[in-house]
């Protein structure tokens, strides 16, 4: 580049460089020629612009700097470098945007003016990245108490990585690590650093509440007295971590024969229990871990072994468990050996003979019967169980219709005396079959069955529904329909107004039943034009209509003939008054007529 004023020349040489990702705020620094690189270099997000003064143009000093930006409009300038001698100079700009291409050019100025170098570009480096996962998830994740997780991570453009939070230390730029026996929630953080900056990621692991259970196994669990050297083994399950404290009590009396802390979920206390007398003993185990405890028991039977007792309890001749229909009856039978007495428990009770039999009675639910027989050789127990098969369920619906009026099937209908009514009964077996289903209907008073109208599913039946009609068996979800007709009594059988007649149907089998009702409202009305209001003194037709009027007529005749009632004088008075009224009226009309004639005559004149 040259400045052509006064033949003064100013030349700047620029050599582009490589970039690395860093910050976004640019800072410029001068450097002496002896500390400048040979060419423009980029490290991360820092660029070191390098130029050279080859001609001062006749001036004693020359000023140089650089313009730069993300477009050819530049927009930013470095600090200026004033030099009084030829040679290399450099200006450093830091905290540029990472992964960004910049345009730049050199600028020189002396007394003759300002000149610009050609456009150049460089790209800053991209910064590091890191991705941390727990069990393959970015989290947060939840795991059971005492569980372990595996942390995995990868990074890019990073030279070192360091853990923090709930783990520590320097880590490789990619890798994995298992974390064991987690008893509380943790957050793991990883920060990775490179020449263009640093990046971090974290993942959270939430821990569930601990849960514990324990079982106890004695070995042996029975034996002859003295029974010594019995081992007790506690086996732990659940969500837990760390060491477990085991407590063992041979007779469940509150005294621990063995207490130990062990890392495993199973521990055996060898030769811990000794029993010097016969009996049924209860041993106990208790465990503690992380503030949570659990316990359990087991039985140890110590026998005399002189004459061992045996007992055999059967139900309907079978050992163990049998299944019977609802409302069945079973028979318990038992025998024993070397027993002095036997005691029942479970769903029967009391003392029993050492052999015998007994009925269970009607069974409506599952039952379990136990029999313990005891002798000098100890005791023994046997159990028999009976399970009820599923109880059938039926639904019953009853409807009625007025055949005389042609109504549909309803829960309730209205009717008049002497009309014909039809009933419908619908029976359904719900989900399971029903055997020997019986339908029994009850007609109310003032209603009579019409013979030969009984039908099952539309087919005539000769059965008697009122004493009990067996409609056979129904398969699961099958429905049968029963219909019949009835006559309502005549009007003489009812009082005036409404009378309700309720018809009911009962349906039953050996183990279930159901019922429903239908209503008929019978209305007796009065004869048209008649009234229930009293129409005479006595409500007796002969007296009120003939005898009383006759007495009244004879009485009036007697009164008239006796002149007690002066009827003729009253009639004469009424006649004289009428004649006077008529004469006065005629007179007034004549006067009015004369006045009209005189008025008309005056008008004409």
pLDDT digits (tens, 9 = 90+) for 70-84: 999 999 999 999 988
| 331 DSSP β-pair partners | 359
Please check whether residues 163 and 261 belong to one and the same domain: no
367-420 pLDDT, tens digit each:
999 999 998 778 999 999 998 765 567 889 999 999 999 999 999 999 999 999
Q: Last residue of some domain: 95, 123, 151?
A: 123
The CATH number assigned to the domain holding 455 equals 2.60.40.740
State residue 567's pLDDT score.
63
66 contact partners, CB below 8 Å, separation of at least 6: 49, 51, 77, 78, 91, 104, 105, 106, 107
Please check whether residues 139 and 39 belong to one and the same domain: no
Say if CB 400 and CB 423 are below 8 A apart: yes
Please check whether residues 467 and 496 belong to one and the same domain: yes
423-440 pLDDT, tens digit each:
999 999 887 788 889 999
Please check whether residues 137 and 197 belong to one and the same domain: yes
Domain housing 371: 310-388
State residue 537's pLDDT score.
60
| 70 DSSP β-pair partners | none
User: Span 318-336, mean pLDDT?
Assistant: 88
Is position 160 within any domain? yes
Please check whether residues 70 and 182 belong to one and the same domain: no
- Say which DSSP state 493 is in: G
Angstrom CA distances, 296 to 83, 99, 259, 551, stand at: 93, 66, 15, 112
User: Span 242-247, mean pLDDT?
Assistant: 90
pLDDT at 563 over 50: yes
Domains of the chain: total? 6
Is position 293 within any domain? yes
Is position 604 within any domain? no
Give the number of other Cβ atoms within 10 Å of residue 583's Cβ: 10
State residue 595's pLDDT score.
66
Q: Last residue of some domain: 345, 372, 388?
A: 388
Measure the CA–CA gap between 370 and 383, rounded to whole angstroms: 4
State residue 511's pLDDT score.
67
Is position 593 within any domain? no
Is position 346 within any domain? yes
Say if CB 460 and CB 542 are below 8 A apart: no
Q: Last residue of some domain: 366, 388, 410?
A: 388
pTM over 0.85: no
Stated as kind and residue range, the H or E segment containing 487 is strand 479-488
Please check whether residues 108 and 165 belong to one and the same domain: no
256-299 pLDDT, tens digit each:
999 999 988 899 999 999 999 989 999 999 999 877 889 999 99
Please check whether residues 198 and 217 belong to one and the same domain: no
Please check whether residues 462 and 478 belong to one and the same domain: yes
Question: Would you mind telling me the total number of residues written for the chain in this entry?
Answer: 605
20-54 pLDDT, tens digit each:
222 233 444 444 455 788 888 888 788 999 888 88
Please check whether residues 500 and 418 belong to one and the same domain: yes
The CATH number assigned to the domain holding 220 equals 2.60.40.10
Stated as kind and residue range, the H or E segment containing 552 is helix 548-561
What tokens were used for 291? 């503030």
β-pairing, 141-143 vs 197-207, is: parallel
């Amino acid at each position: 580049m040259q400045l052509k004023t006064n033949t003064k020349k100013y030349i700047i040489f620029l050599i582009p460089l490589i970039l690395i990702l860093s910050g976004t705020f640019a800072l410029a620094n001068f450097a002496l020629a002896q500390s400048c690189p040979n060419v423009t270099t980029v490290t991360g997000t820092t660029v070191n612009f390098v130029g050279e003064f080859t001609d001062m143009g006749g001036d004693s000093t020359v000023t140089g700097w650089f313009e730069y930006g993300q477009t050819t409009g530049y927009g930013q300038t470095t600090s200026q470098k004033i030099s009084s001698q030829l040679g290399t100079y450099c200006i450093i700009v830091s905290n540029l945007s990472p992964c960004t291409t910049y345009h730049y050019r050199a600028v020189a100025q002396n007394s003759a003016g300002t000149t610009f170098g050609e456009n150049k570009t460089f790209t800053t480096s991209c910064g590091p990245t890191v991705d941390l996962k727990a069990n393959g998830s970015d989290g947060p994740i939840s795991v059971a108490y005492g569980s372990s997780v595996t942390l995995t991570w990868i990074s890019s453009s990073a030279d070192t990585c360091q853990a923090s939070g709930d783990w520590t230390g320097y880590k490789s730029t990619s890798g994995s690590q298992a974390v064991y026996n987690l008893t509380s929630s943790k957050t793991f953080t990883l920060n990775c650093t490179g020449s263009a900056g640093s990046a971090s990621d974290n993942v959270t692991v939430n821990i569930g509440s601990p849960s514990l259970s324990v079982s106890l196994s004695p070995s042996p669990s029975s034996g002859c007295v003295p029974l010594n050297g019995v081992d007790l083994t506690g086996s732990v399950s659940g969500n837990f971590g760390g060491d477990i404290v085991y407590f063992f009590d041979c007779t469940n009396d509150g005294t621990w024969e063995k207490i130990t802390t062990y890392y495993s979920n199973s521990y055996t206390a060898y030769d811990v229990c000794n029993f010097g007398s016969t009996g049924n003993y209860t041993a106990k185990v208790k465990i503690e871990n992380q503030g949570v405890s659990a316990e359990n028991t087991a039985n140890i039977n110590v026998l005399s072994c002189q004459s061992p007792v045996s007992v055999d309890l059967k139900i309907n001749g079978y050992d163990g468990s049998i299944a019977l229909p609802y409302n069945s009856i079973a028979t318990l039978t038992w025998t024993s050996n070397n027993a002095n007495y036997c005691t029942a428990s479970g769903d029967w009770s009391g003392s029993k003979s050492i052999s015998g039999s007994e009925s269970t009675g009607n069974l409506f639910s599952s039952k379990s019967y136990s029999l313990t027989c005891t002798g000098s050789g100890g005791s023994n127990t046997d159990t028999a169980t009976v399970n009820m098969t599923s109880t059938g369920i039926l639904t019953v619906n009853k409807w009625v219709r007025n055949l005389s009026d042609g109504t549909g099937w309803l829960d309730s209908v209205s009717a008049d005396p002497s009309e014909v009514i039809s009933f419908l009964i619908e029976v359904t077996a719900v989900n399971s079959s029903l055997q020997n289903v019986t339908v029994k209907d009850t007609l109310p008073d003032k209603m009579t069955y019409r013979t030969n109208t009984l039908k099952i599913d539309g087919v005539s039946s000769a059965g008697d529904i009122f004493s009990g009609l067996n409609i056979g068996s129904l398969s699961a979800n099958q429905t049968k329909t029963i219909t019949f007709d009835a006559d309502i009594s005549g009007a003489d059988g009812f009082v005036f107004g409404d009378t309700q007649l309720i018809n009911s149907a009962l349906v039953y089998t050996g183990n279930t039943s159901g019922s429903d009702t239908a209503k008929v409202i019978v209305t007796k009305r009065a004869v048209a034009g008649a009234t229930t209001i009293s129409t005479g003194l006595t409500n007796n037709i002969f007296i009120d209509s003939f005898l009383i009027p006759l007495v009244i007529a004879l009485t009036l005749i007697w009164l008239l003939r006796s002149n007690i009632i002066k009827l003729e004088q009253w009639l004469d008075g009424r006649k004289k008054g009428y004649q006077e009224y008529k004469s006065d009226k005629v007179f007034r009309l004549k006067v009015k007529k004369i006045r009209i004639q005189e008025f008309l005559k005056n008008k004409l004149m």
